[in-house]
Structure 1
Amino acid sequence: MKNTLLTILGLFIAIGLQGQSAEERGIEIAKAADAYDQGFGSSVTKLTMILTNKQGQESTRYMSNQTLELTEDGDKSLIVFDSPRDVKGTATLTFTHKEGSDDQWLYLPALKRVKRISSNNKSGPFMGSEFAYEDLSSQEVEKYTYKFLREEEINGVNAFVVERDPVDPKSGYTRQVVWYNKENYRLEKMDFYDRKNALLKTLTYAKYKVYKEKHWRAGEMNMVNHQTGKKTQLNFDDYQFDLNLKESDFSQNSLQRASR
């Protein structure tokens, strides 16, 4: 019995010596999630944005989004508002970078000019929604530091829970807590904490579909602002992949052309 206990104790010690730190495990999970979604190339989708104020009143906007995957740096994306009339033609261009601040531009058709979004304004609301401009950037591993917190069940699936802290000092968040599906590393939920480290928003993902037998995309995202009582729902339809998009399709000139 004593030898058995010693054997078990030795096994636990060996596991402990070989075990990873919370930081090592956290970044390993983030890298696995990134690797799992590599290779989609490009995509185009239609979006419906439903804005709800704290009184429960709703307004709806329709958009299109196209994304180009890049390996040497972050992805590029272009969002164009199709309706209603007061926002029609407004467009946002995002160049995500693995290191340093992202580049973002906003085209305002009423002024017929492109406006660069400064790093100090990245935490501001995107077109009156509960999504910030920095939320539009792709999920690049290098943009955060990581710490594994725990495993738990969410939405009927097992998940890794990881805290990630933005590297950019101008981020509107001190930290984010992310739930990764253990089976395919898709995102299930994300909590955002403001610069005072108070819970600001929660983003939940639903109605997932798998494309090209590998790439999971949520059909619905819900962002709730706990401090204002407002929320924004995004519905995604008609995903298309492997389109002949080029980097030249993501420029300030293309920003204006796409809005016509």
Structure 2
Amino acid sequence: MKNFSHILLLIVVCLFANQALAAEIKGDEKAIAIAKERKTRDIGWGTNEAKVLMVLKNSQGREAKRKLKVKSLEVVDDGDKALTIFESPRDVKGTAFLSFSHALEADEQWIFLPALKRVKRISSKSKSGPFVGSEFAFEDMTSYEVEKFSYSFLGEETINGEDCFVLKQVPQYDYSGYSYQKVWIDKSHYRVQKVEYYDRKEALLKTLLLSDYQLYKNKYWRPMKSLMRNVQTKKSTSLITEEMSFDTALKESDFDKNSLKRVR
């Protein structure tokens, strides 16, 4: 009888565990399958480093440019790690931003501001704020993890000459600045072609267009240009990748919040 009770307990525990796993991703089956395929096609890249030009444009069309260096480390069983270092101009040079993405837990982010000479942690309540004065929010600067959203399939459309699936994804994490996002994912390679971001009042806030995709390691697609337009303020920010390399000698210790002041 004791053994039977033990087996029964194990069965109950397994059932609850399976229910918990099933509850991690909400939405309709087709949309979830597309979201999972998008993620699956971008697993195994390891490490990469990129030189990026950030172009900020105000509502009058005036431009400001910044040069960045971005280092990324894949964490297969969780979200990825990324370190962004501002190299110019002088007013932002030395600014460093570190992000630890997570699939189920809250993302962790820190920023070092040379003028203050200290490392500041970005609180979860502040993640909807602008990333160093750009049209990207802090929450936009994390890796895509399927578990962060619930999903609905909206249909199919053509964007950038690509036949795409259209999904609605609703953030499942706390303090997002978005009520939901509308995402166009191409059928050919499951690359994101466009994203619309809707504010908490469900009004269109921003659009992101991804273009000039390049193939690396015969498997991993990366957009060379990401254009974020704020439709409410008429401002925009472009991220233009000038160089990118994979299989670099990065390691866990290169993503240390305690050494943000010393990164180069």
Is the TM-score greater than 0.5? yes
- CA offsets, 1:122-158, max 9 Å, x none? 0000011000000000000010011111011111111
Could you list the runs of 5+ residues in structure 2 that have no partner in the other structure?
A: 1-25
Quick one: distance in 2 between partners of 1:87 and 1:230?
A: 19
Per the alignment, residue 141 of structure 2 pairs with 136
Pick from 64, 76, 89: which aligns with 1:59?
64
Does the alignment pair 1:252 with 2:257? Answer: yes
Contact 1:41/1:69, CA 8 A, preserved across alignment: yes
Q: What is the CA distance between 1:22 and its match in structure 2?
A: 6.8
Quick one: distance in 2 between partners of 1:107 and 1:128?
A: 15
Between 189-198 and 240-249, report the one with greater CA deviation.
Answer: 240-249
Per the alignment, residue 17 of structure 1 pairs with none
Q: What is the CA distance between 1:244 and its match in structure 2?
A: 1.9
Q: What is the CA distance between 1:254 and its match in structure 2?
A: 3.3
Quick one: distance in 2 between partners of 1:24 and 1:248?
A: 39
Give SS of 1:185's match: coil
Quick one: distance in 1 between partners of 2:126 and 2:67?
A: 24
Does the alignment pair 1:183 with 2:177? Answer: no
Supply the AA of the counterpart residue of 1:219.
M
Q: What is the CA distance between 1:98 and its match in structure 2?
A: 0.4
Give SS of 2:241's match: strand
Supply the AA of the counterpart residue of 1:160.
F
Question: How do residues 26-175 of structure 1 correspond to structure 2 at under 5 angstroms?
Answer: 26-175=31-180
Does the alignment pair 1:202 with 2:202? Answer: no
Supply the AA of the counterpart residue of 2:107.
D
Q: RMSD value over aligned CA atoms?
A: 1.2
- CA offsets, 1:27-58, max 9 Å, x none? 10010010001110011000101100001111
Question: How do residues 231-246 of structure 1 correspond to structure 2 at under 5 angstroms?
Answer: 231-246=236-251
Give SS of 2:28's match: helix
Quick one: distance in 1 between partners of 2:113 and 2:87?
A: 13
Could you list the runs of 5+ residues in structure 1 that have no partner in the other structure?
A: 1-20
Percent identical among aligned pairs is 52
Q: What is the CA distance between 1:217 and its match in structure 2?
A: 0.4
Given the two structures, how large is their TM-score scaled by the length of structure 2? 0.89
Per the alignment, residue 224 of structure 1 pairs with 229
Supply the AA of the counterpart residue of 1:93.
L
Given the two structures, how large is their TM-score scaled by the length of structure 1? 0.90
Quick one: distance in 2 between partners of 1:254 and 1:168?
A: 28
The count of residues paired between Structure 1 and Structure 2 equals 239
Q: What is the CA distance between 1:109 and its match in structure 2?
A: 1.2
Contact 1:22/1:149, CA 8 A, preserved across alignment: no
Quick one: distance in 1 between partners of 2:205 and 2:37?
A: 27
Would you identify which runs of 4 or more consecutive aligned residues in structure 1 move more than 4 Å? Answer: none
